[in-house]
A and B are shown apart, each in its own frame.
Chain A
């Protein structure tokens, strides 16, 4: 498999994700198979292509009708073998489109939630690293209700990172933001990709974002994979089509 230059960084145990799932949701049929072994893979396609359903199945929030999900050789779901590891044991970080911060906790407690429920010792170095990476130190004592959309998404990224996931799913993390905010946050996501050393699946219908963040792209449309390849294949025609 051809690696683009963005994957050139030392491939410290690059996570291998293998997905092959089928799911009927009312009239909509999703039938997808893809593998990912790059630092940042984008799931790219128009609204309604089944992108969110697909990563919900990877995260364990939606149960496929049939299929198999495997990460680093560990089977998370296999309908034939009746394996279905619950979401809370999958150790897959998830940044939701709307952030989904816990409104009754402060930012600090939101960030520490994964460590807390996991029963892990506090790790001030990791905490400090993430806080600096995302530049959220001044927000720690606030509550989510008082944050701007961009701040909320940065906290959501931090919260997912601090549970020490082996894979990070980002579901259109910028979709709810205006374009100025998007420009504010994109650099953080690039830093995240380069420094956090957690492989990412980046869901988006925005070609500009995908070009900036991802190295490999899986094209989805109508619940099917229509193509896979390097990010350079995102040509102008497609940008116009999907914008």
Chain B
């Protein structure tokens, strides 16, 4: 339970900076391979989760070159650890995060950024003081979507890091396991109730945060 929250929260927070960078590239950049990047980012949304999990397994498993390299040189191990669960959740949630942030960046009036430039702000300052604050409602919405998606992730996680109680067993996997066991229904229902409550709270708080951020933008 706590594991699920931790996995979902960490995957969302770690994915956020990458999500902002990719969203910015997709919203503003014009470069060779942009539609390819767009497609790759959205891939986890359309691929069967089991396929995404399997791809992670064969690229980042202990035996895979990249996985072995990370384990040997940085001590980072994903396979059959909760970090792997967080990675799988992050990858699965990434398209939703990028999509929400990208839309909010595209909605920003670029004339405001021109105004910042005439006032002496270079691109970094303009991004930090104008673009990012104006995109805040979209960033919050994207984070909440990603969090909820990460919490519910099942297919990719179970394929990549299996279903080990206390290490990689997230709430969805735990519910699935309980349903398989005779007499597990009562415990399963408890977990179902908890996950409904969490998601409901996440949705309401994101709605509230986004509304507050929007109100701030429009001078209430």
Contact = CB atoms under 8 A, between A and B. Distances in A.
A93 B112 CA distance: 14
A143 interface: yes
A87 B117 contact: yes
B115 interface: yes
A61 B217 contact: no
A98 B111 CA distance: 10
Contacts of B120: 88-89, 91, 114, 117-118, 163
B118 A94 contact: yes
Contact of B114 (A61, A92, A118, A163): A61
Interface stretch (A70-78, A99-107, A177-185): A99-107
A112 to B, nearest CB: 10
A178 to B, nearest CB: 22
B24 interface: no
Interface residues of B, number: 23
Interface stretch (B84-92, B129-137, B200-208): B129-137
B125 interface: yes
Contacts of A89: 120
Interface in B95-129: 109, 111-112, 114-122, 125-126, 129
Nearest to A142: B219
B117 A60 contact: yes
A127 B220 CA distance: 25
A113 B119 contact: yes
A145 interface: yes
Interface string B208-220: 0000000011111
A103 B217 contact: yes
Given A86-B117, A117-B119, A143-B220, 13 more contacts: A61-B118, A87-B118, A90-B118, A91-B120, A98-B111, A100-B111, A100-B114, A100-B115, A103-B112, A104-B216, A117-B129, A145-B218, A163-B120
Contacts of A189: none
Nearest to A165: B118
A63 interface: no
Contacts of A90: 118
A61 B111 CA distance: 10
A117 to B, nearest CB: 4
Interface in B163-220: 216-220
- Specify which of B133, B217, B220 lies most central, judged by the most chain A CB atoms within 10 Å of its CB: B217
Contacts of A114: 119-120
A159 interface: yes
Contacts of B217: 103-104, 145
A96 interface: yes
A103 B135 CA distance: 12
B115 A143 contact: no
29 contacts: A59-B118, A61-B114, A61-B117, A61-B118, A86-B117, A86-B122, A87-B118, A88-B117, A88-B119, A88-B120, A88-B122, A88-B125, A88-B126, A89-B120, A100-B111, A100-B112, A102-B112, A102-B129, A113-B119, A117-B116, A117-B129, A142-B219, A143-B218, A143-B219, A145-B217, A145-B218, A145-B220, A146-B219, A160-B118
Contacts of B116: 88, 102, 113, 117
